[in-house]
Amino acid sequence: MPGTSSDNLELTVSGGVLTLKGKRLAPAGISEDRFRRHERMWGAWERSLNVPERVEEEKVSAEFNDGILKIRLPKAPETKPRQIQVVQGNGP
């Protein structure tokens, strides 16, 4: 994510969807005629990704360093089937 700062990033996770929003600002003090070609656009962007069902959403973390965003999605413990006792009712 070159050209983006951590202040311009927003990360949310809800309902098995990870959403990343950001804004890439044009470099200050450099005129457009100094560029021969733009390979990355300036402005706001948004991406959404489905995450595996077994993710502990409360423990998701992110680290941004040197233009690289690392997102950690810890796996939730596997749930085991629970035996439910059936009792006799008093109905007819």
The whole-number pLDDT of residue 40 equals 67
**Would you say residue 2 has pLDDT above 90?**
no
Residue 57's contacts (CB-CB under 8 Å, 6 or more residues apart) are 13, 14
d(CA 45, CA 8): 10
Residue 91 lies in a domain: no
Question: What pTM, to 2 d.p., does this model score?
Answer: 0.65
Q: Is residue 86 part of a domain?
A: no
Longest dimension (CA), the chain: 87
Q: Which residues span the domain enclosing 12?
A: 6-72
According to DSSP, the β-strands at 61-65 and 43-50 are unpaired
> What is the rounded CA–CA span in Å between residue 49 and residue 9?
16
In this prediction, residue 70 carries a pLDDT of: 94
Q: What is the per-residue pLDDT for 38?
A: 63
Number of domains in the chain: 1
| pLDDT single digits (tens) 16-49 | 899 999 888 777 777 777 777 766 677 888 999 9
Question: The domain that contains 13 carries what CATH number?
Answer: 2.60.40.790
5 or 27, which is more confident:
5
